[in-house]
Amino acid sequence: MTIQLSYTSVRQQLATLLDRVTKDHEVIIIKRRDSEDVAMIAADELASLTETAYLLSSPQNAKRILSALAHALKDEG
């Protein structure tokens, strides 16, 4: 689930929001006036997304991974 808050609201609740991001894996979108929005995401979640993007960046590797996933899902059903 994604939560959208203003910069002012985030400042007022920073400690609580950091706990939600790390403990509940919530994504917080910080809306900034006259600037681009920013996402707050847990570091381990970002590392996982970065690694997944890297592994899928090679078409051959992506094909192997998706094929293995399809095979695993087929065996479950």
DSSP 8-state secondary structure symbol assigned to residue 37:
-
Looking at the whole model, is its pTM more than 0.85?
no
Say yes or no: 30 and 48 in one domain.
no
pLDDT at residue 77, rounded to an integer: 66
Domain that includes residue 9, residue range: 1-41
What would the pLDDT profile of 13-72 be if each residue is shown by its tens digit? 999 999 999 999 999 999 999 999 999 999 999 999 999 999 999 999 999 999 999 999
Sorted by sequence, the CB contacts under 8 Å of residue 21 that are 6+ apart come out as 27, 28, 40, 41, 42
CA distances from residue 54 to 6, 40, 48 in whole angstroms, order as listed: 32, 21, 10
Report the domain count for the chain.
2
pLDDT at residue 2, rounded to an integer: 85
Say yes or no: 36 and 50 in one domain.
no
Say yes or no: 26 and 9 in one domain.
yes
pLDDT at residue 76 tops 70: yes
Q: Residues 33-66, buried b or exposed e (16+ Cβ, 10 A)?
A: eeeeeeebbbeeeeeeeeeeeeeeeeeeeeeeee
Say yes or no: 32 and 47 in one domain.
no
* Of 15 and 75, more confident: 15
Q: Alpha-carbon distance 32 to 62, whole Å? A: 36
pLDDT at residue 67, rounded to an integer: 95
